[in-house]
Amino acid sequence: MFKYISEAEWYLIGASLLFVLFFSLFIYFLYRIKEKQNNFLNKEKSLKSQFSETLLQSQLEIKEETLQHISQELHDNLGQVASLIKIHLNTLQLHDTAKAAEKIDDTKELVRQLIFDIKSLSLSLGTNKIQQIGLAKALRLEIQRLKKLEQFTISYSGVEEVSGLNADKAIILYRMFQEICNNIIKHSKAKHIHVLLTVSNNLLTLVVHDDGIGFDPALLEGNGSGLDNLRNRAQLIKSNLTIASTPDKGTTISIILPLNHVAPEPDNKVSFS
For the chain, list the strands marked E by DSSP: 153-158, 192-200, 203-210, 240-245, 251-258
* pLDDT, average across residues 147-169: 90
Are 187 and 180 in contact by the 8 Å Cβ rule? The answer is no
pLDDT over 50 at 271, yes or no? no
Higher pLDDT, 221 or 27: 27
The pLDDT of residue 273 = 33
The pLDDT of residue 267 = 40
- Which amino acid belongs to residue 72? Q
Which of these CATH numbers, 2.40.50.140, 2.30.30.100, 3.40.50.720, 3.30.565.10, describes 153-273? 3.30.565.10
As a whole number of angstroms, the distance between CA 88 and CA 94 comes to 12
For residue 14, what pLDDT band results from cuts at 50, 70 and 90? confident
For residue 269, what pLDDT band results from cuts at 50, 70 and 90? very low
The pLDDT of residue 254 = 96
Q: What is the b/e burial string over 116-155, where b = at least 16 CB atoms within 10 angstroms of the residue's CB?
A: ebeeebeebeebebbeeebbbbbbbbbbebbeeeeebebe
Long-range contacts of 147-150 (CB under 8 A, 24+ apart): 149/185
pLDDT over 60 at 31, yes or no? yes
As a whole number of angstroms, the distance between CA 216 and CA 91 comes to 59
pLDDT over 70 at 126, yes or no? no
pLDDT over 80 at 152, yes or no? yes
Write down the mean pLDDT value for the chain.
79
Q: Which of 125-134, 138-147, 201-210, 240-249 has the lowest mean pLDDT?
A: 125-134
The pLDDT of residue 198 = 95
Above pLDDT 90, what percent of the chain?
A: 22
The pLDDT of residue 208 = 96
The pLDDT of residue 262 = 42
For residue range 36-89, list pLDDT tens digits in order: 877 777 666 666 777 777 776 777 777 777 666 667 667 666 777 787 788 778
The pLDDT of residue 3 = 55
For residue range 182-216, list pLDDT tens digits in order: 889 888 899 999 999 999 999 999 999 999 998 87
The pLDDT of residue 197 = 96
Domains of the chain by residue range:
7-126, 153-273
As a whole number of angstroms, the distance between CA 157 and CA 174 comes to 16
CB neighbours of residue 33 within 10 Å = 10
Chain centre to alpha carbon of residue 244: 18
The pLDDT of residue 27 = 86
* pLDDT, average across residues 156-171: 90
The pLDDT of residue 84 = 78
Q: Which of 1-10, 21-30, 96-105, 212-221 has the lowest mean pLDDT?
A: 1-10
